[in-house]
Amino acid sequence: MFISIVLLWFCLGFILLQLKPRRPKNFPPGPPTLPVLGNLRYLTSKNPLKDLEKLRQSYGDVYSLFLGSKPAVLISGLKAMKEAMVVKATDFAGRPQDLLIGDLTQRKGVILVDYGSLWRDHRRFALMTLRNFGLGKKSMEERIHEEIQFTVKTLEKSTTGKTLSPQVMFHNAASNIICKVLFGTRYEYDDETLKMIVQCFTELTTLANGPWAMVYDSVPFVSYLPLPFKKAFRNMEMFMEFSIRVVKEHKKSRVPGEPRDFVDCYLDELDKQDKQDSTFSEDQLKSMNFDLYIAGTDTTSNTLLVGFLYLLNFPHVQERCQQEIDTVLEGRDQVTFEDRHNMPYVQAVIHEMQRVANILPLSVFHCTTKDTELMGYSIPRGTIMIQNLTSVLKEEGQWKFPHEFNPENFLNEQGDFVKPEAFMPFSAGPRMCLGEGLARMELFLITVTLLRKFRFIWPEDAGEPDFNLVFGAILTPKPYNMKVELRSRQ
């Protein structure tokens, strides 16, 4: 009996040892692993960014973790980031296909599909269509300005001494701008469709990089259990039903060759494609709607939320912006995107808003497309690569004031706007965020228009501001209120 028990424990121990992940030869170092769980025990806090920073202090700018049995390499610091994402961009341009976010999107669209012809075709089409259809052109500026007027009306109603929470306002504005680009439609702020879309994406982004996503990505067969990530699948289903409805309506009302929006452009492209060899399909279109919506909404709205939190609490920065805006726009009714070249301080402030917002702290996970090397380490094909963008956006030696909000980070001694090499809030290389161009235009036009018309004040009874951001796929500030006053035109 005793011998049987000893043999049983011996067998169990042997099996567990076999299940324990092992680092390949010359793989980046990292903490000890456990069977099945890998290194999950090192990611226990509400903000895994702090856990990752502790591990970086122990193991360096390139180190490894196991998400369950899956090896992942964390990249920190500008030197390592440039080697991976710029110098050897194609080696690191893949996407892991067996994670929660991949299952949610069914590996369609453009952001999360693996490196290959489908990705190349659709990224090229998306960039070309957005550019030709107005991204960077006057028509896109007009769309943004049209939506800004609704934001202005919302703020005007709050200039009677009331406080306002800007969270819904900024999310609705960014959502409507991308809805007009994609679907040719804007929604009233109290419209149930807009509320549904914003809620779906808010919950999806909260879940996507949270602790339950890590459990889903790491533990075998956990996807079958009734755990919180099930809600992400329900939200995705709701958005896809909306996307299917939009595509059906467009097919009925469109005039081929006369596109009104992105959906029409894609349907025109479908008409041209050789059906046998084409990577284009209606399923892809529905997923493209998802990708472009998410690329153009939360990044912008949360950057504005973080930015205005700082402007409220750094009134001298707000006032200096307003002085520059008043000088450059004197005698004119409306700002243009080209005006940014004459507003170095405003440009510096907006870029500093993006730097401290650090909206995508771990970017979107990459994976290696072949066996390669990074900083002297061997990285096998299919290894998950995680970019610690926080480490670059706050890197000592790359910024004058890495740990505080200060527009001087983007100004030289002559007061001219400069963009340091370490400024990469949307990553770098061929997988750089699709929505960056639209986001840059939105941030500039919205910020300038609102600062020109209003003064934003931190409420006296609000207590000390909390600049700590809530961790998720996208970092978000905690809800806050603001007071708004009309400015007299200078």
Instruction: Find, among 124, 99, 89, 97, the residue nearest to 110 by Cα.
Output: 124
According to the model, what pLDDT value does residue 2 have?
A: 45
Judge residue 367's burial from the number of C-beta atoms within 10 Å of its C-beta, 0-12 exposed, 13-18 middle, 19 or more buried. buried
Phi, psi dihedrals of residue 396, rounded to the nearest 5°:
-60, 135
According to the model, what pLDDT value does residue 237 have?
A: 86
382: left (phi over 0), alpha (psi -120 to 50) or beta: left
* CA dihedral for 179, 181, 183, 187, sign (positive or negative): positive
Instruction: Find, among 40, 5, 86, the residue nearest to 427 by Cα.
Output: 86
Q: DSSP letters of 55-92?
A: HHHHH-SEEEEEETTEEEEEE-SHHHHHIIIIITGGGG
Q: Count CB-CB contacts under 10 A for residue 78.
A: 18
The CATH number assigned to the domain with range 23-486 reads 1.10.630.10
According to the model, what pLDDT value does residue 12 have?
A: 44
Structure tokens belonging to residue 153: 């009306």
Structure tokens belonging to residue 397: 């030696």
According to the model, what pLDDT value does residue 96 have?
A: 87
The span from the CA of 13 to the CA of 236, in Å, is 41
Residue 407 DSSP label: G
Structure tokens belonging to residue 217: 């990505």
Q: What separation, in Å, do the N-terminal and C-terminal C-alpha atoms of the chain show?
A: 92
Can you name the residues that pair with 411 across neighbouring β-strands? Answer: 417
Q: With contact defined as beta carbons under 8 Å apart, do 114 and 456 qualify?
A: no
Structure tokens belonging to residue 5: 């028990």
According to the model, what pLDDT value does residue 102 have?
A: 74
Indicate the pTM of the whole model: 0.89
The span from the CA of 219 to the CA of 94, in Å, is 22
Instruction: Find, among 289, 203, 275, the residue nearest to 244 by Cα.
Output: 289
Structure tokens belonging to residue 86: 């710029």
The span from the CA of 175 to the CA of 234, in Å, is 20
| CB-side neighbour CA atoms (13 Å) of 463 | 3
Structure tokens belonging to residue 93: 């341009």
According to the model, what pLDDT value does residue 6 have?
A: 43
Structure tokens belonging to residue 466: 């909390």
* CA dihedral for 59, 63, 66, 67, sign (positive or negative): positive
DSSP-derived 3-state class of residue 394: coil
The span from the CA of 426 to the CA of 438, in Å, is 12
The span from the CA of 318 to the CA of 314, in Å, is 7
Amino acid at 64: S
Residue 471 DSSP label: P
Distance from chain centroid for Cα 169: 19
The span from the CA of 430 to the CA of 435, in Å, is 13
Q: With contact defined as beta carbons under 8 Å apart, do 287 and 439 qualify?
A: no
Structure tokens belonging to residue 152: 């202005």
The span from the CA of 391 to the CA of 376, in Å, is 20
Amino acid at 229: F
Q: With contact defined as beta carbons under 8 Å apart, do 313 and 319 qualify?
A: no
pLDDT in tens, the chain (490 residues): 545 444 444 444 434 444 456 888 999 999 999 887 888 788 776 778 889 999 999 999 999 999 888 899 999 999 999 999 999 999 999 988 777 777 777 778 888 888 888 899 999 999 888 877 655 555 788 889 999 999 999 999 887 778 899 998 998 899 899 988 898 888 888 888 878 877 777 777 767 666 677 677 767 677 677 777 788 888 888 888 888 899 999 999 999 988 888 999 999 988 887 666 788 888 899 889 888 888 888 889 999 999 999 999 999 999 999 999 999 999 899 999 999 999 999 999 999 999 999 988 988 889 999 999 999 999 999 999 999 999 999 999 999 999 999 999 999 999 999 999 999 988 888 888 887 888 899 999 999 999 999 999 999 988 899 999 987 767 889 999 999 999 975 4
According to the model, what pLDDT value does residue 433 have?
A: 82
Q: With contact defined as beta carbons under 8 Å apart, do 124 and 434 qualify?
A: no
